[in-house]
Chains A and B, each alone.
Chain A
Amino acid sequence: MTERRAVARAFSRRRMLAVATMMVPVAATASCGVPDLLAPPPGLSPSVRTLRAAITAEQALVDAYRRVLDTYPALTAPLHPFLAQHEDHLAELKSRLIIPPHVKATPLPTPRAASPPASARAAVTMLGDAERAAAAAQLGRLAAATPSLAQLLASIAASEATHAVALSALNPAGG
């Protein structure tokens, strides 16, 4: 009996030692930043989150132009080229968005629709302000973007800046 108890104690000690030996590398790797085998797969990278934010902002601009053109069809000739360029921006940004299959990304937020401005002139002013704000916001996204995405965002921002200047020179009738 005593012998059996001694064997059991020794076995238990060996098991503890074995478990402890196995745990050392696990603890060491965890502290070295090596990915944990059981950890959930990584989420969206900062660059993808940046891209999603840019897509949401671009969609908001496209929607704003469409609402203005629905309300003031007389503005179609001067404004349609800008809308078309925003649609190009949106298509290019979306073409770069690849969500890995294991990542459950929340759907892109739908921009809130603002009520149409009270006059054509106010609508143009509103679009100009939106273009300026969008161009400035792109600069804030550069740090988290890959070099290629940063260049695309900077180019889109430059396009938006030119829209803002062109809109400020428009003087639509129906004031």
Chain B
Amino acid sequence: MAARAPRRTDAAASADIAALQAVLAAENVAVYGYGLAGAQLSGGQLSAAQQDWAVHRAARATLSAMITERGGTPGAAAVAYRPPFRVNSAGAAMSLAAVLEDGVVRAYLGLVALDDQGLRTFGAQATQAAAIRAASWRGSTTAFPGLPSSALRTG
């Protein structure tokens, strides 16, 4: 008789869904936030914002499907989100885009802590992509994208 693959425990499956829901929530914020940012941008910056907005919309669809596959119900986006500061200039719009990507980086890092190796790799790859977008909007790189200083021993 062939050995059965070990089934994911209910707790592990719940943790997977909760982490995916957190990422979906961050993607919902990003989709809304890029709309706000785009209104203040023009030319190449607007094109970049539109491109990133499309990336987040696609990610939202992917995540919703992943949650549904695991027996969860994807969380709905809010009607509106309050930006962390007034977005009334191109500079503020670019700062907002960087902040949005920071939130997405943090959320995807949550997937990297799961036991599921597929989700770990998926989360790590998405973390890299979001960190690249954040650095591009900010104009500088950071040593530990997505990790708070409290998570660092040398921080």
Contact = CB atoms under 8 A, between A and B. Distances in A.
Interface of A: 81-82, 84-85, 88-89, 91-92, 95-96, 135, 138-139, 142-143, 147-148, 150-159, 161-163, 165-166
Interface string B121-143: 10111011011101110001111
The number of chain B residues touching the other chain, given as a range, is: 20 to 34
23 contacts: A81-B140, A82-B141, A85-B143, A92-B152, A95-B153, A143-B120, A147-B113, A148-B151, A150-B113, A150-B124, A152-B144, A154-B123, A157-B124, A157-B128, A158-B105, A158-B127, A158-B145, A158-B146, A159-B131, A159-B142, A161-B131, A162-B145, A165-B135
A159 B127 contact: no
Given A82-B141, A91-B154, A92-B154, A162 B132 contact: yes
B135 to A, nearest CB: 4
* Complex A-B, nearest 10 residue pairs according to Cβ-Cβ distance, in ascending order: A158-B131, A147-B113, A85-B143, A154-B124, A162-B135, A88-B143, A161-B128, A95-B153, A162-B141, A158-B145
A155 B146 contact: yes
Nearest to B124: A154
Contacts of B151: 148, 151-152
A154 B142 contact: no
B106 to A, nearest CB: 10
B105 to A, nearest CB: 7
Dominant secondary structure at the B interface:
helix
Contact of B135 (A151, A153, A166): A166
A159 B144 contact: yes
A88 B146 contact: no
B113 A151 contact: yes
A85 B135 contact: no
Contacts, number: 103
A55 to B, nearest CB: 13
B154 A155 contact: no
Interface of B: 105, 109, 112-115, 117, 120-121, 123-125, 127-128, 130-132, 134-136, 140-147, 151-155
A155 B114 contact: no
A148 B144 CA distance: 13
A95 B154 contact: yes
A96 B155 CA distance: 13
Nearest to B125: A139
Contacts of A88: 143-144, 154
A150 to B, nearest CB: 5
A159 B121 contact: no
Contacts of B123: 154
A161 B127 CA distance: 10
A55 B131 CA distance: 22
A157 B151 CA distance: 16
Nearest to A152: B147
A147 B119 CA distance: 12
Contacts of A163: 141
Contacts of A150: 112-113, 120, 124
A156 B154 CA distance: 14
